[in-house]
Amino acid sequence: MRLRDATPADAGAIVALLIATKESSVPELTDDHDRDARFWTDRWHRYLAEGSRAEMSRGDGFAILAEADGRLVGFAAYHHTSRHGADAELESIYVTKEAQGRGVGTGLLRTVAARLSADGSASLCVGYDSRNPYKRFYAKHGAVEVNPHWAVWRDLPALSRAAYPTRS
């Protein structure tokens, strides 16, 4: 697996992965708006070119892509924020249904934690749908729920160093 930084030109591939992964992983939480590839490609292009416009964002935006045999198998996106008293927000983390459960998501999360630690960030928040069964990924990696829709890691250097068991 190879990790690389996304550029705005990757927006279309990110959105294709997002839509396919939502439809296969959480179909019960996927609606027509989630499937609007043009809307989301514009949104992701702007995120990567101009930065996040999310509430309390500090106006930057990054994504790390995971590729295997030249194919995109996952990505994680983040920006700096002051939401929930954290230094950064994990905007999204997705791994294709076929590649899930093999450590790709853990590798992406640890890389985000390492990048943020290196720039002096100490904490990371993440928002999610409380019905999403995949939210256990965050708890497994030590995020603490601050309410039913948000969790926070308060020690990013520890997250970047931690080793976690994953299914083979």
Q: Are 159 and 141 in contact (CB under 8 A)?
A: yes
Residue closer to ligand COA (CB basis): 85 or 101:
101
Residue closer to ligand COA (CB basis): 8 or 127:
127
Task: Identify which of 127, 116, 139 has the alpha carbon closest to the alpha carbon of residue 93.
Answer: 127
CB of 132 to ligand COA, least distance (A): 4
Using CB under 6 A, list all residues that contact ligand COA: 21, 25-26, 93-95, 100-106, 128, 132-137, 140, 166
Residue closer to ligand COA (CB basis): 49 or 139:
139
Alpha helices in the chain (DSSP H): 11-25, 37-50, 104-118, 136-140, 156-161
CB of 120 to ligand COA, least distance (A): 26
Task: Quickly count: other Cβ atoms within 10 Å of residue 69's Cβ.
Answer: 7
Alpha helices in 52-126 (DSSP H): 104-118
Residue closer to ligand COA (CB basis): 59 or 140:
140
How far apart CA 10 and CA 115 sit, in angstroms, is 20
CB of 64 to ligand COA, least distance (A): 12
Residue closer to ligand COA (CB basis): 151 or 156:
151
Task: Identify which of 94, 55, 97 has the alpha carbon closest to the alpha carbon of residue 77.
Answer: 94
Which residue's CB atom is positioned nearest to ligand COA? 105
CB of 109 to ligand COA, least distance (A): 8
Task: Quickly count: other Cβ atoms within 10 Å of residue 36's Cβ.
Answer: 14
CB of 78 to ligand COA, least distance (A): 13
